[in-house]
Amino acid sequence: DKYGVDPNRLIAAGRGEYNALADNSTEGGRSVNRRTRIIIMPRLNQFYDLLNPDLSEN
| pLDDT score for 31 | 93
For residue 57, what pLDDT is reported?
A: 59
pLDDT at 1: 67
pLDDT tens digit sequence for 20-57: 899 999 999 999 999 888 878 777 777 778 777 776 55
Nearest residue to 38 (alpha-carbon basis) of 21, 16, 20, 14: 14
Pick the residue with more confidence: 54 or 5?
Answer: 5
| Contact predicate 53/46, CB 8 Å | no
Structure confidence at residue 2 (pLDDT) = 86
